[in-house]
A and B are shown apart, each in its own frame.
Chain A
């Protein structure tokens, strides 16, 4: 195993607080949610595991941040065809999945969602997001479609946050950002069955 201090990028005599801080930052960076559409997800997962192991080795406790909050591992039960296409997209067999999707006549919300996921994986984010938005419009109650939308927003927000911490702009969160974040948080809560802002 690699030196846990090296993995977390801290010096040997670091305090528990410093360890925690370094861990949090790295765990956020390599979180599987940020690599949902990235073909390098396997590399990120390795790194994420390494960081968790290093943290456990240094603190003796379990890791603070849990696994992915996105839809992976959700107990999805779909009809045979969609299930097969879903697996194909997971495995990266994009052209086969596309051929199957294009051959279908029943274009429901699930169809739009899968088409969108396929485009996102391919790197065609413009069409990908259009299809996913369409899926959300057709079936607003579906938590999976919403989660995909939210993770798109969250990944972009994380990128902005890192830039901000490096000193872009006059600093701080503007009033507008604050509202936007609250609404995002509310959406996330609602996906999980809870609620943050009761009126919306």
Chain B
């Protein structure tokens, strides 16, 4: 995915930040254990959010163990020990990474993607065997999306619907959640998919124009009003958060709140206002 679903680090307590890190590292370890060394490519914060959210719904407490890893080979760091939510999100990460790499190769013929393909092949086979239904649904949505893009579809909602649908399936297929929770997760997934797709398209429009890639914002008959797009994305975020408020969160609420109410708007203002501006504001406030 794209890394828009992240924490607003400045607003987190150090303790909460450490927990977030521990989930990220735990996910990385789980990936290595279940899908091999290469599968850790493209581990994103977006997937970490899913791991955190699913762990917060679980009856089972997350246990943390100090371990070494490749990034920190000397000092041990706390890591979430592999359990069901982590194992599921690891699978999701592999599926999305495979889809993204293939997409990159097809659209941009990036050499990096070409090399990544065979490296990921093993992980892909494994995940396909473990979650055959989810795998085929994800494939279906990605295929549908690239078909729409090939047809030069300029309907933003229709395009976003495919990625939203994909994320909806991913969120609602999570193991061990009740029926009501599944309904809520499904709507959260839908909104996040929509948000990610539109924000990504908006951010890439200059680059896509230069490289002659598909971008719905370049095809639109009338130039989209930036303020309207922004407000619409913010509305999408409010739908996500309102749905999240219906969940019975058992732990890590401050971190989840931070991502949903601060981290996501931060990603948005990074795209709309530019990084530079954000830095300036920060410096001025110091």
Please give the residue numbers on chain A whose beta carbons come within 8 Å of chain B beta carbons, in ascending order. 29-30, 34-35, 37-40, 43-44, 47, 119, 123-127, 129, 152-153, 155-156, 158-160, 162-163, 166-168, 170
Contacting pair A160 B234 (CB below 8 A): yes
Closest residue on chain A to residue B261 by CB atoms:
A163
In whole angstroms, what is the CA distance A163 to B164 when docked?
24
Nearest chain B CB to A20's CB is how many angstroms away? Answer: 20
Given A43-B246, A156-B231, A159-B241, A125 and B265 touching (CB < 8 A)?
A: no
In whole angstroms, what is the CA distance A98 to B246 when docked?
29
Known: A124-B161, A153-B231, A155-B235. 13 other contacts (CB 8 A): A30-B245, A34-B238, A34-B242, A39-B183, A39-B187, A44-B242, A125-B232, A129-B228, A155-B242, A159-B238, A163-B261, A166-B11, A168-B262
Contact partner, B187, options A38, A125, A129, Cβ 8 Å: A38
Q: Would you call B257 an interface residue if the criterion is a C-beta within 8 Å of the partner chain's C-beta atoms?
A: yes
Q: Would you call B139 an interface residue if the criterion is a C-beta within 8 Å of the partner chain's C-beta atoms?
A: no
Contacting pair A119 B157 (CB below 8 A): yes
Nearest chain B CB to A12's CB is how many angstroms away? Answer: 21
Interface of B, secondary structure class, is helix
- Total interface residues in chain B, CB < 8 Å: 36
Q: Would you call B184 an interface residue if the criterion is a C-beta within 8 Å of the partner chain's C-beta atoms?
A: yes
Closest residue on chain A to residue B237 by CB atoms:
A159
In whole angstroms, what is the CA distance A39 to B187 when docked?
8
Contacts of B261 in A (CB 8 A): 159, 162-163, 166, 168
Contacting pair B258 A166 (CB below 8 A): yes
Q: Would you call B72 an interface residue if the criterion is a C-beta within 8 Å of the partner chain's C-beta atoms?
A: no
Nearest chain B CB to A35's CB is how many angstroms away? Answer: 6
B5-22: CB near A (< 8 Å → 1, else 0) gives: 000100100000000000
Contacting pair A168 B187 (CB below 8 A): no
